[in-house]
Structure 1
């Protein structure tokens, strides 16, 4: 029999509900896997004691014996990204300043996953405050890539991605502001999805009106798991007035290549040279496009049709406006200014200089870009571009300072390719695309869908998975 930790969540759910394996057996298998792998990869933090987790698993077995299942995740281990609250676990956000912060209630996403039956075993590592696409912090340390421990796992959902790729979790959750689900998925040979804005209500945090760029979402090794977890996470919550009504209906998804026939796919590439991209990345993405082309998709190179530099400046304003107040809220804590990472203080400093007029102009520019994309989607079904502009870089490096002969003027400029879906509030999915020609480093391709087109985008991913199924089964070497 295949080892339990090799199975995805859907397969485990089937075995558990058919009473072919017990929840206790599943928990034991994953705890043993974590004990072997986590000392190397540092992906799961604040892990709960094994005896209490085994007790929860046995209780889940007793519930099934009485004919009661909580849902498809019944008895399945889950570690929550440290941005979200889970009662009984500190919500540190990877910061020494918040090391002892204990939540009084679960986040909306956590509560929904628990209601579907999962057992929360711990949290997953992330960069401090989620800033930067490289998972390291001074509280827990760095999380290396699942395929090569000498390089970055990406971020900010890096711990979740590595735990998933290294079979310490069967499925994972994360969040995405500037590619924080998409980038680690791409760098660890996984599927990661940023849902439509409002599809998965965050928090709730201190602001539910303006703070609409970040969203939680799923990571998975299969599209079926990705879709099922998104369906669990999604739906309106009255505490989040801008959240989307209703869960998504994934019952009609077909795991065949058929949906690629006639699919109109616009390839943005490096935006006609605007994006600095390391050698080999565009070629790997084009290989993935070629697989879709062979299955009947219509792939056309195209331009963004909008001033990319103006969009970047718009992005800087929005990011500072949303990140700055979060940093400000921490600065009254003892030693905060000395403990917080320099990038957080940089965001705060620039946020303090923003004017209301500047922010409103950036909002108008963002609105114009969204309306522009509505016109673009009259001619294409999906937009595609790389999920990152660099290959995984040395784990000791804070962030890439240079791409080719172009200097990165901010700590996140090398992830500029992720801002377009975020600014427009559109669903975007990262698909495994290929590997570096000389290193074991994965890379993903990013597909952006139409407004609230989450299910249609999942269908494209499911068909891509069907076309490249055997290739997608590759996994990192055992440690």
Structure 2
């Protein structure tokens, strides 16, 4: 077989099962591509010893077809916010620069159990804070379509590795657009599942903080569904779990006539760089078998933002407060992390309660919208991929940004409610930079959102437009 790295995960699995491809050959091609492409992008970090990887791939070829898992023989690099046994796992922080876990976190363990070969990590911002993948441990990740620009974040390394054909599948995580923004900016798909769909390790509180979730990233909807089935197996130790579903088989059913509500810039509440709204809105007009309706702002944007930033800072403080409490480690945190932690530590219980009341009110309004629409749609970002030397955009369309994440306000409506959201590519702007749209469904409607994505992918296949030759 010619270079297999351009194939998707399902195609690779089928080729291995019928003997047209071996895991060893796939690993060799993957290592060669990483050696050729990754130095210019810095998407994959902490790459394991090639000899050990070749040995694991050879062992995978000896497993009978009937005993192979759904990800058998697929090289995967795990986002560097997940602990992986035997692989340097830093969370992008100098505090954990030399951390090598003795055991896998749940996500990594599930990938291994499904047959994936874990080759290293994908780059991320420090502790996942910010939608731009740079940190003092591994450096900055570039965009395969414009390497001098950002790949987004916090799953920027994952998205760039997919777009550059170094990986066929990747895991991402998403609190405030962390897999939606990189997917849109790297011309691939990212899926934020309904909160609770993908379990995490039951460590610490498992009831209160419902903002972040892991999810799959890929170049096709079928591959998204494949990885989601591996990750979305409920764990009885967690209170918000959902039953397993056959997401891949669900794609065989037609999406049906779709009603899409376009929310745009939320009635000019959010500044947008030129060309983003028109590209995304025009793309929706091409959505197969769908009607699109422009929707006025259904809720006060300022109230959503206040609720979100309170609950987010509270969650960040709960997670990272242990580092802040130690003066030596606090000095190693980036300013944005310190700001979030100190803000979260300052809140009273009633402030958090009031923020959750606003979230509850928005949930009731959103439920009404989903009586009228199957999907709600928004751009994945308010800016085009910016120069990778920046830390974050200080202004958007002439409006100053008052926090390090204000320029990503467009992702808040879905994040606040934990709604299933597909980041789908919609093409390229005048500078050749990719952009995507968020397709948001009601809670629990993950399969329906993926079916809509499958209809879009079959009609467009934007990820099939590979990065320029010589770049990736």
TM-score class, shorter-chain normalisation, is over 0.9
User: Secondary structure at 1:316's aligned position in 2?
Assistant: helix
> Counterparts of 1:315-330 in structure 2 under 5 Å?
315-330=308-323
Distance in 2 between the 1:204 and 1:160 partners? 25
2:166 pairs with 1:168: yes
2:456 pairs with 1:464: yes
The TM-score normalised by the length of structure 1 is 0.95
Distance in 2 between the 1:175 and 1:168 partners? 19
2:349 pairs with 1:341: no
Q: Which residue is 2:274 aligned to?
A: 279
Q: Which residue is 1:128 aligned to?
A: 126
Q: 139, 142, 145: which one pairs with 2:143?
A: 145
Distance in 1 between the 2:130 and 2:231 partners? 24
Distance in 2 between the 1:284 and 1:443 partners? 8
Following TM superposition, by how much is the alpha carbon of 1:451 offset from its aligned partner in structure 2, in angstroms?
1.2
Q: 445, 455, 468: which one pairs with 1:453?
A: 445
Q: 465, 469, 474: which one pairs with 2:465?
A: 474
Distance in 2 between the 1:243 and 1:91 partners? 27
User: C-alpha offsets along residues 279-299 of structure 1, whole Å, 9 cap, x if unaligned?
Assistant: 10001101210111xx32110
Q: 208, 221, 231: which one pairs with 1:223?
A: 221
Q: Which residue is 2:374 aligned to?
A: 381
Following TM superposition, by how much is the alpha carbon of 1:2 offset from its aligned partner in structure 2, in angstroms?
4.2
User: C-alpha offsets along residues 361-415 of structure 1, whole Å, 9 cap, x if unaligned?
Assistant: 1111111111111111001110001000000111111101111221111100110
**Do 1:84 and 1:91's aligned partners in 2 also have CA atoms closer than 8 Å?**
yes
Query: Mean Cα displacement is larger for which, 170-179 or 94-103?
Result: 94-103
**Do 1:267 and 1:301's aligned partners in 2 also have CA atoms closer than 8 Å?**
yes
2:412 pairs with 1:414: no
**Do 1:254 and 1:463's aligned partners in 2 also have CA atoms closer than 8 Å?**
no
Q: Which residue is 1:214 aligned to?
A: 212
Q: Which residue is 2:11 aligned to?
A: 11
- RMSD of aligned alpha carbons: 1.4
> Counterparts of 1:50-69 in structure 2 under 5 Å?
50-64=50-64, 67-69=65-67
The TM-score normalised by the length of structure 2 is 0.97
Distance in 1 between the 2:276 and 2:298 partners? 22
Distance in 1 between the 2:220 and 2:447 partners? 15
Distance in 1 between the 2:131 and 2:203 partners? 22
Q: Which residue is 2:38 aligned to?
A: 38
Following TM superposition, by how much is the alpha carbon of 1:103 offset from its aligned partner in structure 2, in angstroms?
2.4
Query: Mean Cα displacement is larger for which, 179-188 or 18-27?
Result: 18-27
**Do 2:324 and 2:338's aligned partners in 1 also have CA atoms closer than 8 Å?**
no
Q: Which residue is 1:359 aligned to?
A: 352
**Do 1:108 and 1:204's aligned partners in 2 also have CA atoms closer than 8 Å?**
no
2:307 pairs with 1:300: no
Q: Provide structure 1 residue ranges, at least 5 long, that are not aligned to the other structure.
A: none
> Counterparts of 1:80-159 in structure 2 under 5 Å?
80-159=78-157
Query: Mean Cα displacement is larger for which, 323-332 or 94-103?
Result: 323-332
User: C-alpha offsets along residues 145-173 of structure 1, whole Å, 9 cap, x if unaligned?
Assistant: 11111111100000011111111111111
User: Secondary structure at 2:336's aligned position in 1?
Assistant: helix
**Do 1:389 and 1:417's aligned partners in 2 also have CA atoms closer than 8 Å?**
yes
- Cα distance change on mapping 1:248 and 1:371 into 2, 3 Å: farther
Q: Provide structure 2 residue ranges, at least 5 long, that are not aligned to the other structure.
A: none
Distance in 1 between the 2:150 and 2:364 partners? 36
User: C-alpha offsets along residues 244-263 of structure 1, whole Å, 9 cap, x if unaligned?
Assistant: 122444313138xx53x521
